[in-house]
Amino acid sequence: MGHPAAAVWDNKAATEMTKDWNGIDQVVLRSPHGASARVSLYGGQVTSWRNDHGEELLFTSSKAIFKAPKAMRGGIPICFPQFGNGGSTELHGFARNKIWMIEDSPPPLHLNDSHGKSFVDLLLKPSDDDMKCWPHSFEFRLRVSLAADGVLNMISRIRNVNGKPFSFSFAYHTYFSVSDISEVRIEGLETLDYLDNLCQKERFTEQGNAITFESEVDRVYVSAPNAIAILDHEKKRTFVIRKEGLPDIVVWNPWEKKSRAMGDLGDEEYKQMVCVDGAAIVRPITLKPGEEWTGRMQLKVVPSSFCSDHLGF
CB crowding 195-227: b at 16 or more within 10 Å, else e? bebeeeeeeeeeeeeebebeebbbbbbbebbbb
By CB under 6 A, the residues from 206 to 225 that bind ligand G6P are 218
Query: Of 189 and 275, which CB lies nearer to ligand G6P in the complex structure?
Result: 275
Least distance (Å) between residue 195 CB and ligand G6P: 10
Distance of CA 112 to the CA centre of its chain: 21
Least distance (Å) between residue 70 CB and ligand G6P: 6
CA distance 43 to 79: 9
The set of residues, in sequence order, having a beta carbon less than 8 Å from that of 57 and lying 6+ positions away, is: 49, 50, 51, 176, 177, 239, 299, 301
Query: Of 115 and 258, which CB lies nearer to ligand G6P in the complex structure?
Result: 258
Site size for ligand G6P, by CB under 6 A?
A: 10
Q: What is the DSSP letter of 22?
A: T
Amino acid identity at 95: A
Query: Of 121 and 218, which CB lies nearer to ligand G6P in the complex structure?
Result: 218
Radius of gyration of the chain (CA): 19
Least distance (Å) between residue 202 CB and ligand G6P: 14
Least distance (Å) between residue 85 CB and ligand G6P: 9
Stretch of 39-47, 84-92, 127-135, 231-239 contacting ligand G6P, by CB under 6 A? 84-92
Contact string 39-78 vs ligand G6P (x = CB under 6 A):
-------------------------------xx-------
Q: Is 92 near ligand G6P (CB under 6 A)?
A: yes
Least distance (Å) between residue 72 CB and ligand G6P: 9
Yes or no: say if 202 and 195 are a contact pair by the CB < 8 Å rule.
yes
Q: Is 197 near ligand G6P (CB under 6 A)?
A: yes
Contact string 241-270 vs ligand G6P (x = CB under 6 A):
---------x-x------------------
Please name which of 239, 248, 266 lies closest in space to residue 184, comparing C-alpha atoms.
239
Chain residue whose CB lies nearest ligand G6P: 252
CA distance 131 to 117: 35
CA distance 217 to 307: 24
| Residues in contact with ligand G6P by the rule CB under 6 A | 70-71, 84, 91-92, 197, 218, 250, 252, 275
